[in-house]
Amino acid sequence: MEKTEKQKMLAGELYLAEDPELAAENKRASRLLRKYNSTTEEQQQQRQQILQELFGKIGQKVTVIPPFHCDYGTNIFAGDKLYINYGCVILDCNTVHIGDNVLCAPYVQIYTAYHPTEPEIRLSSRELAAPIKIGNNVWIGGSAIICPGVTIGDNTTIGAGSVVTKNIPENVIAAGNPCRVIRNLS
């Protein structure tokens, strides 16, 4: 039995994003995001209901300040006490697991999606995606970019403007482009 494009996407294999099933899921997310991003600060209960419908899992006391954007939403699994500030983009073409007590400053970008580097394959419209895992008690500074396939360990701080291209261990401060450990905390 051949895999669906969604199964290929979640397995990290080449897939076609314009597949009808994926296109329908993206439209669903776009509809929910349009509603979410038009809410006001007085509509906290409505925001929580939309996030519960949008995300694959959502913990307690989750705050996402609009505007917020994602591809599907269903591949985002958020823990307790998550705070996401203005302008966050999560390209969740693969799973994004976010631990408890995570803080994301404005304009954090989390990208599971990427394109093949070989032009012939890229011209076929096929894409790739790799999962991202963000541990517990992590602070991600403003305008940081988390690249496909990255894991960030518990109790870690990622400096503002960093481009995280490789795994970052737990209990460190890391920053730069490319992001690297600049101080151990333990």
Residues forming the active site = 115
- What sign for the dihedral angle of Cα 59, 4, 148, 85? negative
The DSSP element (H or E) to which 47 belongs, if any, is helix 44-54
User: Hey, which residues does 114 pair with through a beta bridge?
Assistant: 128
Calculate Rg over the CA atoms of the chain. 17
- Spatial separation of the C-alpha atoms in residues 6 and 11, rounded to whole Å: 8
Q: Is 36 helix (H, G, I), strand (E, B) or coil?
A: helix
Strands 88-91 and 68-70: parallel
Q: What angle do CA 139, 134, 92 make, to 5 degrees?
A: 115
Residues paired with 53 in a beta bridge: none
